[in-house]
């Protein structure tokens, strides 16, 4: 029985995947990390129930070096409509690290992108770190919205969260 059928992840929009691949390449040799946000499939014109990943959002405060990218958990908004995460492995290994597994419990799907960041150099994982299928969908995203130009003000307005809220589970 699926009480929350509509929250099923149907796939990732081609544009969002391309953005994440390009961002990972830009960050090389450092890790890139972002969060995945979804839209209701029907709002994108699909005749299916579920969620399509349409946005890749970089959280301010990400500390990145060649070894790992970490996010201060207090900077992950509690009410953020995040369906998962995406980050890159500059060493090209498409497997979650021990540190990755520790964070995968949050969110439904986690994407690892590996060097050399070509179209097939990525793998999706479930919250247990097991490889999972993620369809790439050719959907047209709502006009007037661009995830390429997020500013801090945009993010604040979008998320409406409070950095001082320490009620993290």
Shortest separation between residue 4's beta carbon and Zn ion, angstroms = 28
100 binds Zn ion (CB under 5 A): yes
Instruction: Mark residues 103-142: x for contact with Zn ion by CB under 5 A, - for none.
Output: ----------------------------------------
The three state secondary structure string of 47-75 is CCCCEEEEEEECCCCCEECCCCEECCHHH
How far is the CA of 27 from the CAs of 8, 22, 30, in angstroms?
30, 9, 5
Q: Quick one: 100 or 126, whose CB is closer to Zn ion?
A: 100
Structure tokens at 39: 């839209």
47, HSE (Cβ side, Cα atoms, 13 Å): 0
Tell me the three state secondary structure of residue 120. coil
Shortest separation between residue 71's beta carbon and Zn ion, angstroms = 12
Shortest separation between residue 79's beta carbon and Zn ion, angstroms = 25
Point out which residues bind Zn ion (CB under 5 A): 97, 100
Which residues are tagged catalytic? 31
């Amino acid at each position: 029985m699926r009480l929350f059928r509509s929250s099923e992840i149907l796939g990732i929009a081609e544009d969002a995947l391309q953005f994440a691949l390009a961002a990972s390449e830009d960050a090389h040799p450092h890790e890139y990390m972002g969060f995945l946000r979804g839209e209701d499939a029907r709002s994108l014109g699909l005749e299916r129930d579920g969620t399509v990943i349409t946005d890749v959002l970089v959280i301010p405060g990400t500390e990145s070096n060649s070894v790992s990218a970490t996010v201060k958990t207090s900077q992950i908004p509690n009410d953020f409509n995040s369906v998962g995460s995406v980050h890159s492995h500059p060493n090209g290994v498409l497997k979650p690290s021990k540190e990755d597994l520790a964070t995968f419990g949050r969110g439904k799907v986690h994407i690892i992108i590996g060097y050399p960041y070509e179209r097939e150099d990525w793998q999706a994982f479930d919250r247990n770190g097991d490889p999972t299928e993620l369809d790439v969908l050719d959907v047209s995203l709502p006009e007037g919205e661009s995830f390429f130009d997020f500013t801090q003000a945009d993010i604040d307005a979008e998320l409406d969260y409070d950095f001082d809220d320490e009620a993290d589970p």
